[in-house]
Amino acid sequence: MRSDPTAPEPRAPLPPMPPAKLRTEKLSAWYGKKRVLEEISLNFAPNEVTAIIGPSGCGKSTLIRCMNRIHEVTPHARIEGRVFLDDQDVYRQEATSVRRRIGMVFQRANPFPTMSVFDNVAAGLKLNGVRDKARLDEQVVKSLRQAALWEEVKEGLYAPGVSLSGGQQQRLCIARALAVEPEVLLMDEPCSALDPIATAKIEDLLFDLKKQYTVVIVTHNMQQAARVADRTAFLYLGKLVEFNATRELFERPKEKLTESYITGRFG
Amino acid sequence: MVPRPSDTSAGSETPRDPGVIVSPRGRFSRLRDRRFWVRVADRLFTGATGAAALVILGIATLLVLLLVQSSYPSLTRFGFGFLYGTVWNPNQTVLSPLIFGALPAIYGTMVIAAIGMLFGVPLSLGIAIFLTELSPGWLRGGLSFVIELLAAIPSVVYGVWGLIVVVPLMATTVEPGLHATLGQLPGLSGVFAAPASGYNGFSYLTAGIILAIMVIPTISSVSREAFLVVPNDQREAALSLGATSWETTRLSVLPYARRGVLGAITLGLGRAIGETIAIVLVVGNSYAISGSLFSSGTTIAAFIATEFGEANGIERAALLELGLVLLAVSLLINVGARLLVRRGIGPVGGAE
Amino acid sequence: MRFDRDVRRKLFSHAMAIACLACVAIAILPLGDILYTSAVNGLKVLSFQFFTQNSPIPCDPRFQTGCSFGGIYNSIQGTLLLIVIAAGIALPVGILCGIYLSEFGANPLGNAARFFADVLAGVPSIVMGVVVFSLFLLLFQDGYITSDYVLSVLSASIALAFIMLPIVARTAEEALRLVPTTTREAALALGIPRYRVVLRIVLRSARSAVITGGLLAVARAAGETAPLIILNPGNLFPFAPALGLHQTTASLPISIYRWIVSPYPNWQADAWGATFVLVILMLGISVAARLALRERFGAALR
């Protein structure tokens, strides 16, 4: 692996895999007749960041979209296999309550267009019936702090959410997802549309977020995975090729395919 | 045809080789040059299309100039009084002077369009929301096809149906029923008052209801387009917070598409105020102003249609001035709608 | 507590879905009833003769004997005549204008024409009627035409052409824009002259969408009543086909209008027959146009 000067110092070796917060079991997914995931079984440990890497079109996004049941919203989309959250099958629960427990941040920042910063963050709480102003204020401030956005927007809480910069909008979306107090946070290439400075801010944020949440991040940027993730899964053409502690995967890949990908022979 | 190297310079893409065309043998030899004729054909073709575009501008100009010119006698004679006068009297007698006031027609147009919008807008939005957001996939295609067919029914047919089916229903059931229920509420007794001539079903309300049905295809199809361009990640943002499908529509889809929807409503309004024959058949065509929705009235378009054939001289000029008023209002509405629709489709402003 | 709330939200979402479905049903109801009522009443008079005979003389069997239902031959002939002339003007000009807007229209003239085409499409058809009336009256007063032409097949056709033109132009433009730029560039790179690229390649690739736009415009004009009330009220020569462009003619929409408001039983019955024919005609055109479009562009336009 080409060493990246900006990468933090190598961390202490990871403890063995703790009991999974979230896991998939032989998960397959289709768009129409096209199969995009093949029997993926993966465990996601609590209080860790797990990265999913792979060339574009390998099914990374589909995988996390299956986990919070957003995949099924797409017409003609279908899955087989199971996803467990705390050992309970999410496909046997209400989709809405699953999605509340598994928050998601998307590739493109997508704040609600007519809403202020405050209302964007409060949207999920209001859906869940929080009407108490004091409680709303408290939770919004807390979420904005967690998303490292509070200092930048505290003067303009009632400005439209879409008036923020791209990086701020993405952190606003993180705050919006955190406000409903999910247990898992799924991030679908959250930095792909951002500049390096905004990217660095979000990467820093991940170190704080994992203290409280189970984080899964999809990225096509290997340096990012190496920097932020405790464990990394490498997907290729809908199949799980390798899953290991991030350092192991990058320094001593077991599979030939992994090695050629991380050394940049294809991408 | 086989492309020859010389052909590549013939298109209007590369207008740079006049020197090649003038050959040493003299200026008339260009008539034998194929590239010259290709260029002439190209110019002619572009010119013809440009002329066609000018025809559009010409018609638009003609419209305004002709209406102003031909309503000029009335414009100068009645001035602004035309807009708020309530009497239309083309037959001068000793006791009644010749006078034309447009208010009853303007009032009727507004009331009927308002009723049409009141019923038509929620219905159309409900349809658009159902077809894009809530419908199961297997139902979507068929239903939207049927809704589009509403647009294929000519307005005279809506009028005939209104006259034969809706008017009697209004007279016997709906209007007395509304009078007995809503009409008893304080403040609404005037709106739902029984007309002096009894319930005959020819009324502002009937016309408004027919209009509501007629604007549905316009409003629902344009708002559907606005909903369809809402990016999926907007919907997913709401879904990922645990929103139900209705909540997703309310949180993401409607706000994102708001300009497009507003444009759709405005386009529908434009259609509503210009509607003629269906209104003529159900509105009763009386030139009067009444607060009761059960009274007969008329609209600008309907009044022009019923009076124009008999009108001459100054009355015709006055009717043309009514046409000018209608044109002005519909231009305002349509220009507004186009601007809204054009801006509403595409990303919402902000730092991107 | 939380469970209750979730159930309530889910139920509310379902309730809204049902309410929206009810909107669809409310909209389909009139369509269904229009089809049903016009079929039931229309089929009473529909026969082969209904298409071959001219408009009947008004007749009331309570006071007269030997009442005839007549037919809609001259109405159909009039509608066809009006449409053929209007389409003959509007289709070529409209398609040329569409070509200009899509191929050469990225300039002030193009933007203005596009804008005014949109604006014209929104002008009420009754206004088009009175404007063309004023135009012809002016031409007559200046001695260019005889007085016959003011209310005539010609003037009515021109009003219909004005109504069709912006629709044809804008749909043609949209259709041509769907042809990928690379197609044009590939053809131009072969050295094919611009006009041939547009006519033979671009227009041909987009032809079914252009035809659909034209068909929808024709349908719109064929069902128009308002401008005809002004320009061709059908009360001058209503019982036989027009013999020239300077005469007025009966037409389906005008006959329906005149007959349904009349007190004569045979006219009223014929009004339903004509309504049924018009509805079937319009739905037929509309369905055909949409099917043609769908076949060509598939899911892209749904």
Three-state secondary structure string covering B68-101: HHHCHHHHHHHCCHHHHCCCEECCCCCCCCCEEC
Q: Which of the residues C14, C95, C100 would you substitute to probe the B interface, choosing the one with the greatest number of B C-beta atoms within 10 Å? A: C100
Pairing of strands A34-44, A184-188: unpaired
* Chain C residues within 8 A of A128 when measuring between CB atoms: 2, 5
**Banded model confidence at residue C295, pLDDT cuts 50, 70, 90:** low
How many C-beta atoms surround the C-beta of residue B261 within 10 A? 26
| Ramachandran category for residue B286: left, alpha or beta (phi over 0 → left; psi -120 to 50 → alpha) | beta
Rounded (10°) CA dihedral A9, A10, A16, A20: 50
Pairing of strands A231-236, A239-245: antiparallel
Share of chain A above pLDDT 90, in %: 45
Residue type, A117: V
Give the pLDDT confidence score for residue A243 in this predicted structure.
Answer: 93
Q: What is the ipTM of this complex?
A: 0.91
Say which of A97, A163, A169 has its CB closest to residue B242.
A97
Q: Which of the residues A76, A90, A99 would you substitute to probe the B interface, choosing the one with the greatest number of B C-beta atoms within 10 Å? A: A99
- Strand ranges across the sheet with A49-53: A102-105, A184-188, A214-218, A49-53, A231-236, A239-245
pLDDT tens-place string over residues A130-160: 888 999 999 999 999 988 899 899 898 999 9
Residues A112, A169: Cα–Cα separation, whole Å? 10
Task: Considering the domain delimited by B99-344, tell me its CATH architecture.
Answer: Orthogonal Bundle (1.10)
Measure C15 CA to nearest chain A CA, in Å: 17
Max mean pLDDT among B13-22, B57-66, B138-147 falls in B57-66
Give the pLDDT confidence score for residue B349 in this predicted structure.
Answer: 35
> CA geometry: angle at A7 spanning A6 and A12, to 5°?
150
Angle between helices A166-179 and A196-209 (to 10 degrees): 20
CB-based contact A129 C6, cutoff 8 Å: no
Pairing of strands A214-218, A49-53: parallel
CB-based contact A113 B350, cutoff 8 Å: yes
Kindly list the partner chains of chain B, i.e. chains with 3 or more CB atom pairs below 8 Å.
A, C
CB-based contact A112 B238, cutoff 8 Å: yes
pLDDT tens-place string over residues C23-78: 999 999 999 999 999 999 999 989 999 998 888 888 888 888 878 888 899 999 99
CB-based contact C138 B70, cutoff 8 Å: yes
Residues B180, B193: Cα–Cα separation, whole Å? 10
CB-based contact C96 B51, cutoff 8 Å: yes
The number of C-beta contacts closer than 8 angstroms across A and C is 10
**Banded model confidence at residue B25, pLDDT cuts 50, 70, 90:** low
Q: Which of the residues C83, C194, C201 would you substitute to probe the B interface, choosing the one with the greatest number of B C-beta atoms within 10 Å? A: C194
CB-based contact A112 B352, cutoff 8 Å: no
pLDDT tens-place string over residues C241-259: 777 888 888 899 999 999 9
| Nearest chain B residue (CA) to A122 | B241
For tokens 């080789």, the residue is B17
* Chain A residues within 8 A of B237 when measuring between CB atoms: 106, 110-112, 173, 176
Measure B168 CA to nearest chain A CA, in Å: 46
For range B172-188, the mean pLDDT: 89
Q: Are C71 and C51 in contact (CB under 8 A)?
A: yes
Q: Are B323 and B71 in contact (CB under 8 A)?
A: yes
CB-based contact A129 C5, cutoff 8 Å: yes
Task: Considering the domain delimited by A22-262, tell me its CATH architecture.
Answer: 3-Layer(aba) Sandwich (3.40)
What does the domain layout of chain B look like in residue ranges?
5-66, 99-344
Q: Are A85 and A184 in contact (CB under 8 A)?
A: yes
For tokens 């007794």, the residue is B189
pLDDT at residue A184 tops 60 = yes
**Banded model confidence at residue B340, pLDDT cuts 50, 70, 90:** confident
pLDDT tens-place string over residues B156-166: 999 999 999 99
**Banded model confidence at residue B3, pLDDT cuts 50, 70, 90:** very low
pLDDT tens-place string over residues A246-261: 988 998 898 888 988 8
| Ramachandran category for residue C277: left, alpha or beta (phi over 0 → left; psi -120 to 50 → alpha) | alpha
* Chain C residues within 8 A of A96 when measuring between CB atoms: 6, 9-10
| Chain B from 225 to 254: CB within 8 A of any A CB | 231-244, 247, 251-252
DSSP string, B297-348: B--HHHHHHHHGGG--HHHHHHHHHHHHHHHHHHHHHHHHHHHHHHHHSSPP
Say which of C38, C112, C124 has its CB closest to residue B326.
C124
pTM of the model: 0.85
Largest CA distance in chain B: 98
How many whole angstroms from its chain centre is CA C228? 13
